[in-house]
Copies of this chain bind each other. A is one copy, B any other.
Amino acid sequence: MQNILIVDDEKDIVNALKIYLSDPDYRIYEAYDGKQALDIVEKEDIHLVLMDIMMPVMDGITALNKIRENSFVPIILLTAKGEDADKVLGLTVGADDYITKPFNPLEVTARVRSQLRRYLKYGSGNEDAGKITIDGIELDDATKQVLLDGNEIALTPKEYEILKLLMSNPGKVFSPREIYSIIWQEKPYGAENTVAVHIRHLREKLEINPAEPRYIKVIFGQGYKIEKRVYK
């Protein structure tokens, strides 16, 4: 028996998902905002969370981060098609998967099963999950290893997370405050400097010449980005 929590403020969506996931093996829990979801995750032994991003009281991203504070339960985010994709990107760091509305029922069940399998048996099965490669940089989230032209380089946690954020959204520019909010999970107070220092350290490890970075570029007045592809 597996316990699945569905979180969406639209009752119709919750009901549709309940039907897709009707299976004697699944016990379905429901919540209609992030706060309720949090309460249920605290009390019950939830094995999987399906959660909308846009919700009243507490949105999905906030709830996701709160849940992640002391649980590794798989979380699949539900996102509406047009839904402010840019804003959402990068914020979904802690999520295990996401599904865009409108749903394909088969896709929902497949992803749910896949996440449950991964969670219950601790062999993910999918070797390449969480690997990102951009040019000579290869980031493997499972092993937390980063290879630069095939050679492992050692990053500190903050460096690793910043690199992962940038590599997860190649080409997208993140302001220092944005980076700080996402990685540190707190208000970007006195953030610019701190982020700059970490960027510097990253460059020292990644770039041939940190003063003329090939990968981590700065857009003056906007922020940092990692190039999608470096032209040599």
Contact = CB atoms under 8 A, between A and B. Distances in A.
Given A157-B220, A157-B222, A142 B24 contact: no
Interface string A10-29: 00000000000001110000
A194 interface: no
B72 A181 contact: yes
B188 A24 contact: no
A220 B142 contact: no
Given A72-B178, A72-B181, A177-B70, A98 B172 contact: no
B168 A225 contact: no
30 contacts: A1-B89, A23-B100, A24-B86, A25-B89, A25-B98, A70-B177, A70-B187, A70-B188, A70-B189, A72-B177, A72-B181, A72-B182, A122-B168, A122-B169, A122-B182, A123-B169, A124-B169, A142-B169, A142-B172, A142-B173, A143-B172, A143-B225, A144-B173, A144-B219, A144-B222, A145-B171, A156-B220, A157-B220, A157-B221, A160-B222
A108 to B, nearest CB: 13
A79 interface: yes
A151 interface: no
B1 A165 contact: no
Interface string A77-110: 0010000011011000000001010000000000
Interface of A is mostly: loop
A100 B24 contact: yes
